[in-house]
Amino acid sequence: MSISAEIIPRAIPGLPSREVLAALCSAHSSEHFKHHRTRLSHFIYRPPKRRNLLSFFKSRGTPEPLALIKFGSHVTLGEARTQIYVFQHLKCDPSPPFRVAEVYDAWEDRLTGFIVMEYIPGLAATAMDGPRIAAAIHWLLALPPPDDGRLGPVGGGPMRHCLWRDDEGPTYESVERMDTQINNILKFQGLTVNLSADPICFYHDDIDLRNFLVAGDDLYVTNFEHTGMFSVRIRHITPQCLTLTEVYIVFSQVTGPKDTYDVLTTKLTVPKLVSDGLNWTSYQERIINAITSKKLRRHVVGTTRKPAGLVERDDSFFRDDNSLFLPSYKQIKEHEDAMEDCF
């Protein structure tokens, strides 16, 4: 069955034109930058309050959100088409493991892209949602590719993947062109690949808690910027050395450092900080997530404290904080472990 990913603007009562939404996003981002020195990439549109007397008595609260607009230079029509493609496939699944917000409209204006989508009220996913997130990724990896067989986002466009510097690659019109580029790199190691002989499959290169939302009993996948279609073997190429190895993702940001899921996908990496610092926001987030997964965040934020030392008196150990506490052997062992954690 053929699934369409065409962007067809949907008329939503109360939703203004593209021009008005773009102006609102720009004004909201500029105002936020004045106070916080950072720019926003999302805007929640709420219709203005009506001024007539009847509406005043009907509702005195804030109007309900009509849509969520994702915007910025990193937003592309390819991301919108990919989200639509997944949304259409989920509609055909009688028991989908997750949901996706419906895309109402998407367009590009000069260097800025806009995706207007359904607003989903919910909470950010937590470590407790790890099994459900794993099930969602398994479902995505089994998603059939579009009939055109193009790589990258659905319908074509630049690939977002950690294989390339700054996670942004070129646009490939065919697998053969990618074969040529990869083999030009691998020839220095005496290796070659024939990706055109492999099947095309879906990939997700940004598995992070911030990209999943829990609304009631439903789990939502909310970000399709680093997703698309890729050769099945290219998912196992590590960006550091470009050797063909199978990499199993450790869900350190999903379930904690002790739990893993054997989801075969791309290796999570930390992007390189560019010299002008333009990618500082994403770089900082990924660094903090990686440090947190190793239980080392307290060393970065300065909340770790060195435990009180122990002193020996008459073949016994006491704390050196002038207390008369005489620890047991188990407590001494725990103290030694805590001291090691501080360094």
Q: Which of 175-184, 191-200, 234-243 is least confident?
A: 234-243
Spatial distance between the Cα atoms of 254 and 133, rounded to a whole number of angstroms = 8
Instruction: Give CA separation, 273 vs 41, 278, 299, in Å.
Output: 20, 8, 21
Confidence category of residue 165, pLDDT binned at 50, 70, 90: low
Q: Within 13 Å and on the Cβ side, how many CA atoms surround 265?
A: 28
According to the model, what pLDDT value does residue 59 have?
52
pLDDT at 288 over 50: yes
pLDDT at 241 over 70: no
Indicate the DSSP class of residue 41.
S
Amino acid identity for residue 190 in this structure: G
Instruction: Give CA separation, 161 vs 170, 224, 268, in Å.
Output: 10, 12, 10
pLDDT at 260 over 50: no
Instruction: Provide the residue count of the chain.
Output: 343
Higher-confidence position of 142 and 186: 142
Encode pLDDT of 211-220 as tens digits: 999 999 999 9
Higher-confidence position of 2 and 11: 11
Start-end of H helices in 92-153:
130-141
According to the model, what pLDDT value does residue 135 have?
92
Higher-confidence position of 113 and 312: 113
CB 199 within 8 A of CB 232: yes
Spatial distance between the Cα atoms of 112 and 255, rounded to a whole number of angstroms = 35
For residue 248, the SS3 value is strand
Among 120-124, 176-180, 202-206, 272-276, the range of highest mean pLDDT: 120-124
According to the model, what pLDDT value does residue 252 have?
26
For residue 14, the SS3 value is coil
Encode pLDDT of 46-75 as tens digits: 998 765 555 545 555 678 999 999 999 999
pLDDT at 249 over 50: no
According to the model, what pLDDT value does residue 113 have?
95
According to the model, what pLDDT value does residue 133 have?
92
Q: Of the candidates 337, 273, 292, 287, which has an alpha carbon nearest to the alpha carbon of residue 310?
A: 337
Higher-confidence position of 303 and 40: 40
Higher-confidence position of 337 and 15: 15
Q: Which residues have CB under 8 Å from 218's CB, separation 6+?
A: 98, 99
According to the model, what pLDDT value does residue 62 have?
75
